[in-house]
Amino acid sequence: MENTASEDLTEFKGEIRELFKEWASQNNEQMKKLYPILQGIQATNAEIETSIEFLAQQNDDLKKKVDLLEQELKKKDEHIIILEDTIEDMMRGSRNKSLEIKNVPLEPKETKEGLLKMVEHLAQDLKLDINTSHISDIFKSKSNTEKKTVTVEFISQSTRDAVLKSAKIYNHKNKNNKISAKNLGLTKNPDEPIFIADRLTQKASRLYFLARDLKRIKNYKYCWTSFGRVYIRKEDDSPIIMVKSESQIHKLKDN
């Protein structure tokens, strides 16, 4: 019995060895097949790593170029702002002898002589010694509306300033009877309100429009123009703010 058991065990071990040899042989065959594939994967990974490093370098180079372009663009923007401010100053300077009479109910074929007479009539009501000799040019807006803006160019800035100042004083003293069409000697719609104002540049006109909107939204007490510039003030004891750009107004709206 013992010999039989020993023989069975020996036979079993032999079978195990054969199975193991067979498995090892099959495993070796599979590994031989997988080895090229693994090598290919390793090569691909190496290529991917190389590509990633190349792209990373390219990205760094592009970022440097973008940063440089942004710096150059910023410098150009600053230069453009300087040029725009210079042009604005020149345009404002060219208008420092002019003012606008707004909301004038003119006849369709109003002549230059008629416009000059309106200014003379206004000067008399404002107690100013001004006549046609003080005016270098006068013209009305080309809009199709019945009420137009009359632009007056004086010989001197001091004359222009005197009219603006006197008009302001007149309206302050006559709060219930401010300057109207009758002060221009007009019989058509004599009670139509008339506004005497700076002759603003296109940029200043835009800023004045936005500033008045800001005054309404943020409850600013004052908004006015002086010598072609736009100003706002929150309260009587608040600092006076000179409006220089649209971005400045947007910031004030956001605060």
The helix/strand/coil state of 175 is coil
DSSP state of 189: S
Instruction: Give the pLDDT confidence score for residue 40 in this predicted structure.
Output: 76
Residue 241: strand pairing partners? 232
Q: What is the CATH T-level fold of the domain 96-199, as seen in this structure?
A: Alpha-Beta Plaits (3.30.70)
Mean pLDDT per segment of 10 residues, for the chain of length 255 residues?
Answer: 63 72 70 72 81 84 88 88 87 92 87 94 96 94 86 96 96 94 92 95 94 95 93 95 94 89
**Under a CB-based contact definition with an 8 Å cutoff, are residues 115 and 184 in contact?**
no
Q: Which two tokens stand for residue 47?
A: 């290529």
Q: How far apart are CA 62 and CA 7, in angstroms?
A: 79
Q: How far apart are CA 217 and CA 236, in angstroms?
A: 18
* pTM score of the predicted model: 0.67
Instruction: Give the pLDDT confidence score for residue 235 in this predicted structure.
Output: 95
Instruction: Give the pLDDT confidence score for residue 96 in this predicted structure.
Output: 92
